[in-house]
Structure 1
Amino acid sequence: MTAPALYETGSGRDGIMCPVEQLWTPYGQDAEDSGFVAHRGLYVTGIDDPTEDHLFPTGFLVLGHQRWADIIEAAAAYMSQVHSWRNIYLYPGDDPSVLIPRIPRAVHTHGVFLRHPHPDHACGCGWDEAWRMVWAPGTEPGAVPVTALRHPAAAVTAASLPSPDTGAPATWAP
Structure 2
Amino acid sequence: MTAPALYEIETCEGDDGTMHPAEQVWTPCADGTADHGFIAHQGLFVAGIDGGADDDLYPVGFLVLGHQRWADTIEAAAAYMSRTHGWRDLPLYPDDDPTALIPRIPRAVHTHGVFLRHPHPDHGCACEWDDTWRMVWAPATERDVVPITALRHPAASVTAAGIPNPDTGAPATWAV
> What residue number does 1:113 align with?
115
* Alpha carbons 2:24, 2:120 under 8 Å: kept: no
Aligned to 1:83: 85
Classify 1:83/1:12 alpha carbon distance in 2 versus 1 (closer, same or farther; 3 Å). Answer: farther
Q: CA deviation at 1:3?
A: 5.0
Q: 1:74 — aligned with what?
A: 76
The 8 Å contact of residues 58 and 151 in structure 1, kept in 2 or not, is answered as: yes
Query: Mean alpha-carbon deviation: is it higher for 133-142 or for 110-119?
Result: 110-119
- The one-letter code sitting in structure 2 at the alignment partner of 1:5 is E
Change (3 A) 1:35 1:12: farther
Is the 2:6–2:138 contact (alpha carbons within 8 Å) kept by the matching residues of 1? no
User: Does structure 2 retain, via aligned residues, the 8 Å contact 1:118–1:127?
Assistant: no
Structure 1 residue 119, shift from structure 2 partner: 4.8
What is the aligned length?
173
**Counterpart position of 1:20:** 22
SS in 1 for 2:155: coil
Question: Who is 2:153 aligned against?
Answer: 151
Identity across aligned pairs (percent)? 68
**Structure 2 counterpart of 1:125, from 124, 127, 134:** 127
Deviation at 1:126, TM superposition (A): 2.5
- Is 2:59 the partner of 1:63? no
User: Per-residue deviation at 1:148?
Assistant: 0.4
Q: Distance in 2 between matches of 1:49 and 1:80?
A: 20
Query: Does the CA-based 8 Å contact 1:5-1:21 persist in structure 2?
Result: no
Q: Which amino acid aligns with 2:8?
A: A
Matched, 1:138 2:140: yes
Selected match of 1:53 from 52, 55, 58: 55
CA distances 1:77-128 after superposition (whole Å, capped 9, x unpaired): 0000000000111111111122324211000000011111355534332222
Q: Is the 8 A contact 1:119 1:128 kept in 2?
A: no
- CA RMSD in angstroms comes to 2.1
Structure 1 segments unaligned to the other structure (5+ residues)? none
Moved more, 136-145 or 91-100: 91-100
Residues 140 and 102 of structure 1: CA distance in aligned 2, closer, same or farther (over 3 Å): same
Structure 1 runs of 4+ aligned residues shifted over 3 Å read 1-4, 11-18, 50-53, 117-122
1:11, 1:123 within 8 Å by CA — same for their partners in 2? no
Alignment partners' CA distance in 1, 2:7 and 2:154:
34
Instruction: Give 1:13 shift.
Output: 7.3
CA–CA separation in structure 2 for the residues paired with 1:80 and 1:27: 22
How far has the Cα of 1:154 moved from its partner? 0.7
